[in-house]
Amino acid sequence: MSKILVTGAAGFIGTYVTERLLAQGYDVIALTNSKNLDVQSDRLTVIEADICDEDLAKKVFGATGQCQTVVHLAADIRVPGDGRTIEVNCLGTYYVTELANELGADKLIYLSSVPVIGKPIDVPITEDHPAHPETLYHITKGDCEPGRCAWDEKAYAAYSLSYWKRDATECLSASYA
């Protein structure tokens, strides 16, 4: 099985993604700035680091070597948000794309949430749905998607995923960037 790096692994979604990947037999590198990751496995490597650290790639590569896939879940979700929200969601995402390149990743998967477009007008939501984000978090998550940024000209495939809940049913949409 391949090695997968998960940023934000101790977060709400990150914990579930990490557990699921381990259950499917993957080796997982959990990148988190928190000591709250409550997952155990002999195939799990935990690295405590801030995605806004410009030396992130050196630190992670030194500890893990190459990695086939990076799943980027780390974000600052504070509302209304502040300079740290911009730093984490934009600059941090930039450093994660650099990290994916340094690790030789074939895929970068970026997770966001449907509120980046604002209140949905039509369901299901399509890629051409108009965007009217309502918070700084939503603006930064939408504007800093790796597939939308000029600095995303790397050798890996970038995927943007959005998730939402409707009538207690989990929904997932994906786009290839």
Active site residue 137: yes
Helix (H) or strand (E) holding 26: none
DSSP code for 27? E
Q: Can you tell me which residue has the tokens 């007008």?
A: 121
Q: What values do phi and psi take at 172, rounded to 5?
A: -145, 130
Catalytic residue among 95, 110, 137, 156: 137
Give the tokens for residue 8: 């934000």
Burial (CB count <10 Å: 0-12, 13-18, 19+), residue 157: middle
Helix (H) or strand (E) holding 161: strand 157-166
**Catalytic residue set:** 137
